[in-house]
Structure 1
């Protein structure tokens, strides 16, 4: 996975909403709210029984490139792509998942937490990685320390990042985009508060462009 590949998927956006959506019925209104807020991509995590149905519904809605997150196995990657995933994100580094995504010709972003994992990714020809879980691992201080000896690597930090930290992460030259769930929380979905989702998404997109 190269930075160019992911940059094409993101289509210029530097914010990636990370979604855990339990009810497929919310997929359409959610996609509409994210698109209205200016999001160009979103990651649907494979943490719920209906994740495939949610992904398929959001991908069919149009206006968003929807990827699959928390993909742990090659079989999950296959199901995600069949459901319409435009990219695949893993929480860790797994050679079998990477190989299957290459066979499927879908962009894939593996997660890394250490220099050793990052070296494995580079050896596999991957120069864009998910730094996860970003905040529990030390946030920007750790990201800078990892980026220093690997200047051609691009990072997508995700995990525990709040809205107030977005601009600081995006100011780092090594950061390609930031993944976050503050724009779409479980409480938002339970209330059906799509206007607030739209507002928070628009705010994040605006901040990412400054």
Structure 2
């Protein structure tokens, strides 16, 4: 087991920060940190994501990773910026290899048993089930866990505070929350209170 897996599991909820402007991503991290979240996935769809990762990773209190990593070149750019884990919603052995050469954790995406097996063979330390809600939700995850009882699964895509407990009951090690937690509309209008409340709701329900 990669040494970061227990820390990700302890965090329970990994915010997937996906915004069209980097300053909104920085606001999201700052505001979510205010309610006690210290683990963040910055997706490569954020403009200048490696630059943002570099700024955030300079803070030793934060555990910062890169998401939607498209290829090895992007993986290496994020790792050089300080990313401690890499996430791809598909199977890419080159991304996993780049992560492991830097001691980082690799999460590769899958939906079916065949894909889960391929992700593990490609070097995944944890398997991201994406898109979780449209793939069958907690029931689908429970079925996968019956075949792969020792795999750390991270369902992402449509997961929110209401459904997160069901995913944990089905065997999730931790979950990714994107738009349900990092709402760009709220960020753009500067509604910090609403973003913080959504985070408190998510953390409260998950911890309960």
Instruction: State the TM-score, normalizing by the size of structure 1.
Output: 0.89
Verify the 8 A CA contact 1:24 1:57 in the aligned structure 2: no
| Higher RCO (CA 8 Å, separation ≥ 6 residues) | 1
Aligned pairs (5 A) from 1:27-106:
27-61=25-59, 63-106=61-104
Cα-to-partner distance string for 1:51-97 (whole Å, 9 max, x where unaligned): 22222233335532111000010111111112221211111111111
Give RMSD over aligned pairs.
1.9
Residue aligning to 1:142: 140
Residue aligning to 2:182: 184
1:171–1:90 distance in 2 versus 1, CA, 3 Å:
same
Residue aligning to 1:110: 108
* SS of equivalent to 2:32: helix
1:27–1:57 distance in 2 versus 1, CA, 3 Å:
farther
Verify the 8 A CA contact 1:38 1:201 in the aligned structure 2: no
Aligned pairs (5 A) from 1:165-204:
165-172=163-170, 174-181=171-178, 182-204=180-202
Provide the C-alpha distance between the structure 2 equivalents of 1:58 and 1:26, rounded to a whole number of angstroms: 14
* SS of equivalent to 1:164: coil
1:95–1:28 distance in 2 versus 1, CA, 3 Å:
closer
Structure 2, gaps ≥5 residues long: none
1:193–1:129 distance in 2 versus 1, CA, 3 Å:
same
Provide the C-alpha distance between the structure 1 equivalents of 2:182 and 2:125, rounded to a whole number of angstroms: 28
Provide the C-alpha distance between the structure 2 equivalents of 1:125 and 1:61, rounded to a whole number of angstroms: 28
